[in-house]
Amino acid sequence: MSEGWLPIWQLIVSSAAVFNAVQNYTTLKLTQRLYARTPQLVNPLQARAFGTWTITSAVIRGYAAYHIHEKTIYDICIISYLIAFSHFTSELLIFKSAKLNGPVISPFIVASVSLVWMILQYDFYVFKA
């Protein structure tokens, strides 16, 4: 693994995403808390789809932890955080299925901190050929 804290952060976020993905396949309880304004819309199919996205993001971020100097991987990882941030922002502000509570604040913090950190550290980790 590379120097610095960002690769370790990517592994932590990736590990948390694996837990989240597993819970999406096994129960609706935590996902209903995430979409607290419309918990009745959370069904097993939606939860499994969300779990599939979450495991995909875990793979991207885990891979980025070990290949942090590769531009393409770094860029894809940034995009994965941008997608997550956009999703939760739209569910909160546009679709109004989420409300500003602990389950929603957590992904906002992770996505925004990760985006800013990765953008600020781009030149440090991505070696230019």
Q: What is the 3-state secondary structure (H, E, C) of 29-83?
A: HHHHHHCCCCHHHCCHHHHHHHHHHHHHHHHHHHHHHHCCCCHHHHHHHHHHHHH
**pLDDT computed for residue 3 by the predictor:** 84
CB 57 within 8 A of CB 80: yes
**pLDDT computed for residue 127 by the predictor:** 76
**pLDDT computed for residue 128 by the predictor:** 64
Q: What are the tens digits of pLDDT across the range 28-57?
A: 999 999 999 999 999 999 999 999 999 999
Q: How far apart, in whole angstroms, are the C-alpha atoms of residue 50 and residue 31? A: 9
C-alpha dihedral, 22 to 60 to 77 to 55, nearest 10°: -20
Q: Provide mean pLDDT across the span 2-21.
A: 95
Q: Provide mean pLDDT across the span 83-108.
A: 95
